[in-house]
Amino acid sequence: MIAEDIVARLQVVSTDRLRSHEEIIPFNFQRLRESMLNMGRLVDPIIVDKEHYIVIDGNHRKAVLDSIKCPNAACQLIDYQSDEVGVGGWFPVSKTVKPGDIAGFRPEKVDFEAGTAAIEKMDGTFLYVKKENGKKECYLYNSNEKTVQGVIAQQRKFLSTIEERDLQYVADDKVEEYLARGYTAFYRRLYTKKDIVDEALAGRRMPPKSTRHTIPERIIRLNLHLGWLAESPDVCKQMMDDMLKRRLNEGSIRRYTETVIVLY
């Protein structure tokens, strides 16, 4: 991506126009709010579907801007329907939860293929998977819901019974590594782009950690002054563009071709 492309892809958008698609985690929100106010900057732009203005990545950042009544946000607009934009999810994992620990849900022993097929068809809420001696032991928690909204409601109820346990979330493409380390994983259906768009347009936010997106040419470390976002969109855009052009002319850009780990 050349300098002109970077400047063109970053736009100033009214926060009122942005549609969040996921709920926030209160602890993460408070920590991010404190950090943004201490720094006085929006570090990373919010990733936004340019057709419907759905927040694809940055729901917590938008919530912070809303909380301080900031009228604008710096956004990287993307073509969400592009094949280059990937969508995955996060699976809960635990070392202590047993199949029968989920109050109100009856586990049914199944093989892995049948269990994952049931999850995809929304015939199940979660699939309990544990690896013992190289083999997967699986239990399906059935669902009487056949819609995205119904399955989400079931998942909320399910997770509420174990949220005080040692639960953490891992990316769906890393779950096998955790199974090998002795964790139990709770597989769930991965949402499609259509699911995400439909729910956002209907004003229904998904639970936190429902989706994980891979964004090509994601722009990070914008470090935009929060005060600029209080200006009119045109003035803010001009100041942002001037700042970007200056930094880009100074060579202040790095492109990562390898997987990176960002510590917050």
Give me the mean pLDDT over the 75-81 stretch: 97
d(CA 97, CA 91): 14
Closest to 89 (Cα-Cα) out of 256, 207, 262, 260:
207
pLDDT for position 264: 57
Domains of the chain: 3-85+210-249 (3.90.1530.10), 90-189 (no CATH)
Residue from 93, 95, 123 nearest 108 by CA: 123
pLDDT of residue 238: 95
Under 8 Å between Cβ of 64 and 31: no
Confidence of residue 257 (pLDDT cuts 50, 70, 90): low
**Inter-residue long-range contacts of 25-33, CB under 8 Å, 24+ positions, other chains counted:** 25/60, 25/208, 25/209, 28/60, 29/60, 29/63, 29/64, 32/60, 32/61, 32/64, 32/264, 33/64, 33/67, 33/68
pLDDT of amino acid 63:
98
- Give 262's pLDDT tier (boundaries 50, 70, 90): low
Identify the band that residue 8 occupies on the pLDDT scale cut at 50, 70 and 90: confident
